[in-house]
A and B are shown apart, each in its own frame.
Chain A
Amino acid sequence: MGFDAAFEKKKKLNSVGTRPLRPDGVEKVTGKARYGADFNMPGQLVGRILRSPHAHAKIKKIDTTKAEKLKGVKAVITAKDLPDLTDGNSDLYDVLDNCMAREKALYDGHAVAAVAAIDAATARKALKLIKVDYKILPHVTDVDEAADAKAPLVREGVFTTGVDPKPAKPSNITNRSQYGHGDVEGGMAEADFIVGRTFKTEQTHQGYIEPHACVASVNSDGNAELWVCTQGHFVYRQNCADLLGMDASKLRVTSSEIGGGFGGKTHVWSEPVALALSRKAGRPVKLVMSREEVFRASGPTSATSIDVRIGAKKDGTVTAAEATLRYTCGPYPGMWAELGAMTAFAPYDFANVKTVGYEVLVNRPKVAAYRAPSAPMAAFAVESAVDELAGKIGMDPVKFRIKNAAKEGSRASYGPVYGPIGIGPTLEAAKKHPHMKAPLGKNQGRGMACGFWFNFGGQTCSNINIGEDGTVNLAVGTVDVGGSRASLSLVAAEELGVPYEQIKAVIGDTGTLGHNDMTDGSRGTFSSSLATISAARNAISIMKERAAKMWDIPVEHVEWENGHAVAKGKKYGNLPKLSVKDIAAKAGRTGGPIAGHSELVADGAGVSFATHICDIEVDPQTGATKVLRYTVIQDAGKAVHPTYVEGQYQGGAAQGIGWALNEEYIYGKDGRLQNPGFLDYRIPVCSDLPMIDTQILEIPNPNHPYGVRGVGETSIVPPLAAIANAVSNAVDARMTHIPMSPPRILKALETEAAE
């Protein structure tokens, strides 16, 4: 479905681009909305998971006898109750092993057993009665230490793929990936200035306020239900069915309201465990993670170590750029470094560019996607080096970026040739923004940085059902993580030509719609709007047929205008137009219920770019920082509901600010996580932040009728670098380690003073 320029030129959009109230607002401000933990079933048991206290240990024996004998305990399970049905599918095996450790506990927090009991107190007691005999093994949690040839091996028999010849010895590096074009060494030889540095970022968590929660009920006849907070109930259904040997059709999964996900609720953890407990106990089981479990066993993003080298001529032309990126994956292979390698130089049009990514196994929880996964760390390294290089040349950092920015027709560093893109316009907007000219005080610095995210499309299925009274139900299969029911209702209203209030959008369960991929990759509004447009157009074509029947005229003479069927031509032009309500009222006599369906692969998600500007004040005595001002400029393609687009920009920026300044997983020498709670893992609070200004640019995506691009993720990509550049400018020392917590800033100040 291509971009329809008529929408722009004739200003034909009536609903899309407006800012109505969200349809789920009242439920959410009155406490009625039901999230993962807000649902109960008759006869429900409480599930609890026993987790490894060791970073790396062989599980010699698990004795559950005492726990099973405790009064009120209805089921105890270990890996034996989740037999391996993965049939050589190693990715699925890793998911299974992560849900319940099989031979080894691979991180502090790894599930080893679970119980279902009549209440929480009994379940807690039962966990204490389970005896696990561990043989503790050497562990490694740091990315650079794990990548070293002498490191303890997290998994046996891992030989790095992507290198030729195959390495002679196993290691913790699962894969090497490479992207780029041109001749980097040749380009470096032409450079007048070269900047080369190594950067590190620590592991962070998505930090959704709602812990993972589900209620599972498995019947003896093989039918089952799962209520769960997830970003993708269809994918959860297939994963759970595969792991438990069930028919997907018999497992009905309903997605609850979701209390934040940011990528962290795209992976199953406790759901297969809850189903296995229910299967064994023959009763429904509710399993809710504690916050400590969320930190120790779900999420997080990669910790990284990145080398960057960029060379440029005196006139500011970059001649070559390269980056080597090492990303932790947790104890299972991933493609996190590869995503970093793909995104690192994406905003730029460099003649010679090369990136290499190494996936590194460590004894930490399995890495999960976190909002534009892997891009923020790569952008931190690259955008810091770009800023430093501009400084060396003596060029303004915005002008330096504009000179080297990618544009339509540029070959991206990760391969494809760009269509119309927003990096140039966001930089031009930054150049003109009043924020850039505002005065700065003592100990204050300004920084800016750019960011990129691919955006995804994927499998999508939506239904539009017209009621007998002419009101409209829109059923979508992409979970609403932050207001998409409002934006998709706007799209349905736009196409049908009816008021927004006439549409009621719901998220269909897995029994009511065809497969839908996750709400990830910023795809929710992009892909489901394509399916909604297509479903609405199908419903319109049916309504035109029905109107033709009602009028008894050929359907070729019926047009759809502003929510009405209109008869066209001299012969029929006098017939009074028919509304959706008029047509729906007669549906029983003109062919039955009226519905429009759509099933599609939403190809053509337009890439997304942003430029952020921020001002930071540093207290030179304590190293404490204060964010004084923050501006987000991002291309939305077309903002369907601009208020919620702003919300995505602001929310991503705030998460990035937390990552840049405070948030990190801190491991002890024993490999145990020392800060699994919101007190010691400190996400930004209201008093930490200023207002976050936003500027929405609209460079239409040529693959969407209204020009829509995904907007959810790109906003977290620039903040790490923008803040690092601001702090570096404030303290006149290059910051190379995220988060820039007070001790790290003090150290940088001391090093600078010593020099």
Chain B
Amino acid sequence: MSGIAVSTTINGDEVEYLCQADETLLDVLRDRLEMTGTKEGCGTGDCGACSVMVDGRLVCSCLVLGAEVQGSTIETIEGMADGADLHPLQQKFIEHAALQCGVCTPGFLIAAKDLLERNPNPTEEEIRFGLAGNLCRCTGYDKIVRAVQDAAQEMKG
């Protein structure tokens, strides 16, 4: 059973892999590349736990095929911190206790980073609708929204 050869850039590194035609990008990241920071909550694009950026677009990696991303640039949670320096969103999530179990957190961080890059000064409502594709069952979202608000303030400098 031969695989499909794919070349991509993931978190700045050139990565090549072989995958089957029916494998999702999420499967490739988690099972072939051992990048388990991206989580699977549903496999049907409903929970956002597998959110990654593909060529600057926020996607559910469970809805993208591994073979589709030939030549693409992918960003995952593993690339969000700059070495030992956390991204302001990562820091604010910890400070505000915006995670309890933490399994939805990688997806929320990817989605929130994308939101703030598109809209550096979001209202509470814009944050709530901007993150409506990510499910969290622990926090009731209150502390997540506050963490994003605080990070937005800090990123504006």
Where the two chains meet, the residues of A that have a C-beta atom closer than 8 Å to any C-beta of B are 21-22, 24-26, 28-35, 37-38, 40, 120-121, 206-211, 257-262, 288, 290-291, 481-483, 643-644, 646-647, 650-651, 653-655, 677-679, 683-687, 689, 691-692
Contacts and interface: CB of A to CB of B under 8 A. Distances in A.
Interface of B: 20, 22, 27, 30, 34-44, 46-47, 49, 76-78, 80-81, 86, 90-91, 93-97, 99-106, 109, 124-125, 127-129, 131-145
5 contacts: A21-B95, A29-B99, A210-B103, A651-B138, A691-B142
B94 A25 contact: yes
A642 to B, nearest CB: 10
Contacts of A32: 37
B47 A654 contact: no
A262 B145 contact: no
Most chain B Cβ neighbours within 10 Å, of A24, A33, A643: A33
A32 B136 CA distance: 19
A210 B41 contact: yes
A416 to B, nearest CB: 31
B92 to A, nearest CB: 9
Nearest to B96: A643
Nearest to A25: B94
B97 A483 contact: yes
- Interface pairs A-B: 6 shortest CB-CB: A31-B37, A259-B103, A654-B140, A28-B102, A678-B46, A25-B94
Contact of B141 (A35, A257, A483, A686): A686
Most chain A Cβ neighbours within 10 Å, of B44, B47, B140: B140
Looking at chain A's contact residues, is the secondary structure mostly helix, strand, loop, or mixed? loop
Looking at chain B's contact residues, is the secondary structure mostly helix, strand, loop, or mixed? loop
Nearest to B79: A31
A291 B102 CA distance: 18
B72 to A, nearest CB: 20
A34 B34 CA distance: 12
A260 B49 CA distance: 13
Given A33-B102, A209-B135, A291 B94 contact: no
A37 B97 CA distance: 24
Contact of B41 (A24, A38, A211, A643): A211
A260 B94 contact: no
Contact of B80 (A30, A211, A677): A30
B86 A481 contact: no
Contacts of A646: 97, 143
A651 B100 contact: yes
A29 B86 contact: yes
A64 B81 CA distance: 49
A531 to B, nearest CB: 22
A31 B100 contact: no
Contacts of A647: 97, 100, 138-139, 143
A25 B109 CA distance: 13
A482 B105 CA distance: 13
Contacts of A653: 140
A687 B129 CA distance: 5
Nearest to A257: B102
Given A209-B101, A686-B132, A686-B134, A38 B140 contact: no
Contacts of A687: 125, 128-129, 131-132
A689 B140 contact: yes
Contacts of B100: 260, 481-483, 644, 647, 651
Given A481-B100, A686-B127, A678 B135 contact: yes
Nearest to A40: B34
Contacts of B46: 291, 677-679
A291 B43 contact: yes
Nearest to B106: A31
A616 B43 CA distance: 33
Given A29-B86, A482-B100, A679 B139 contact: no
A30 B132 contact: no
